[in-house]
Structure formats: C-alpha cells, structure tokens
Amino acid sequence: MIGNFPYFAVILLIGCGIYILMFQKNLIKLAIGINLIENGINLFLITLGYRKGAIAPIYTQAPSGQAMVLPTPQALTLTSIVIGVATSALILSMAMMIYKHYGTIEVNEVRRLRG
C-alpha cells in the first residue's frame, strides 16, 4: 500500500492541474495548472524507475552483485523538465503580451476569436 503512495500523489497533482485548466479564469493560473500536470507526470516517471534496494548505475563504484536501476526514467524526466521550462516560459511570455494588448488576463475577456 505504502509503495503505491507516489501514484496517489501523481493522480492528485494531475487532477489539480486539470481542475485549474477547466475552471480557473486567470491566464497565469492556467500556466500553473499546466506546470502541476507536468510535475505529476515527472513524479510518475521517476516512480516507475524506482527499484527497492537498487543503486545508481555507476559502473566504477558499484559493489559486485548489487542490482542497478535502469537510468532511462531519469533521462526521460530530465528531458521532460527541460521541455517544461521552455513551455512555461513561452506561455508566461504570451500571457504578458496578451496583457499588453488586451489590458486584462481574465479568460472571459480574452475571447475576441470565437464562433
């Protein structure tokens, strides 16, 4: 049960993010929502890579006979974090531009394109 605990945290984080994206009316909060989902997924990937009693895969310092974790999930998470930084920067800069042109960052006001 306790081993599944990270997965509950993953679901909680993704759920919070989705709630924010569906119901919050502030563009900056939407960016936060996307970041929450992303963190949930990063946690998910990292949890998948966990093996009980295994050590980091550094060949030169490994004691013989000990199990090693596969480093792929860590690599995936690192890539995903880097991409997430770029995404957040882009979204926030666009929110800034919208504020410059519209004078507001409320979702209800930012809808000149519709129909």
Partner 1 sequence: MNLFNHTPILILAVPLLTAFLIPIIGKINKKTTGILATLALGLSLIMTIVLAAKVLSVGPQVYVFGEKSSLLTLPSGLKFPIRIMFQIDAMGIFMGLITALVSFLGAVYSLAFLDNKDKIDSYYSLLLLLTVSMFGMEFTGDLFNFFVFLEIASMASVSLICYRGADLGEPVEAGFKYMVVSSISALMVLFAVGIFYGEYDVLNIAAIASVVKYSQLDKIALGILVSVLAMKAGAVPMHMWTPDAYSEAPAPITMILVAASQASLYAIFRIVFSMYNITLNTLAVGWIIIILGLLSMFIGVTMAIIQKDIKRLMAYHAISQTGYMLLGVGVGLAVLANPEALKDYGITAMEGGIFHIMNHAMYKGLLFLTAGALFFRTGTRDLNKMGGLAHYMKYTTIFFIIGAAAIAGLPPFNGFASKLLIYESVYKFNPLLSIIAMVVSILTLASFVKVFHSAFLGPKLPQFKEVKEVPRSMVFAMAVLSCIIIFFGLFPDLIVKNLVHPAVMSLIEQLQYTGTVLGGM
Partner 2 sequence: MLGLLETGSGFWSAIIWILLVLVIGGMVIYLRNKGEDSYKKNTEQDKPFISGNPEESKESSHLSASHIYWGFTEALKGYYDPLVKMHTGHINDYSGWIIVLTVIILIVIGVSG
Interacting residue ranges for partner 2, rule: CB under 8 A:
18, 21-25, 27, 30, 107-108, 110-115
Which residues, numbered 21-50, are part of the site for partner 1 (CB under 8 A)? 21, 27, 30, 34, 37-38, 41, 44-45, 48
Considering the complex, what minimum distance in angstroms separates the CB of residue 37 from partner 1?
5
Is residue 72 near partner 1 by the rule CB under 8 A?
A: yes
Q: Which is closer to partner 2, CB of 72 or CB of 93?
A: 93
Asked whether the beta carbons of 11 and 18 are under 8 A apart, the reply is no
16 binds, among partner 2, partner 1, none (CB under 5 to 8 A by kind): none
**CA gap 27, 33 in Å, rounded:** 10
Q: For residue 13, how many other CB atoms are within 10 A of its CB?
A: 20
Which residues, numbered 49-68, are part of the site for partner 1 (CB under 8 A)? none
Residues of 29-51 as b/e, b for ≥16 C-beta within 10 angstroms?
Answer: bbbbbbbbbbbbbbbbbebebee
Asked whether the beta carbons of 58 and 27 are under 8 A apart, the reply is no
Is residue 110 near partner 1 by the rule CB under 8 A?
A: yes
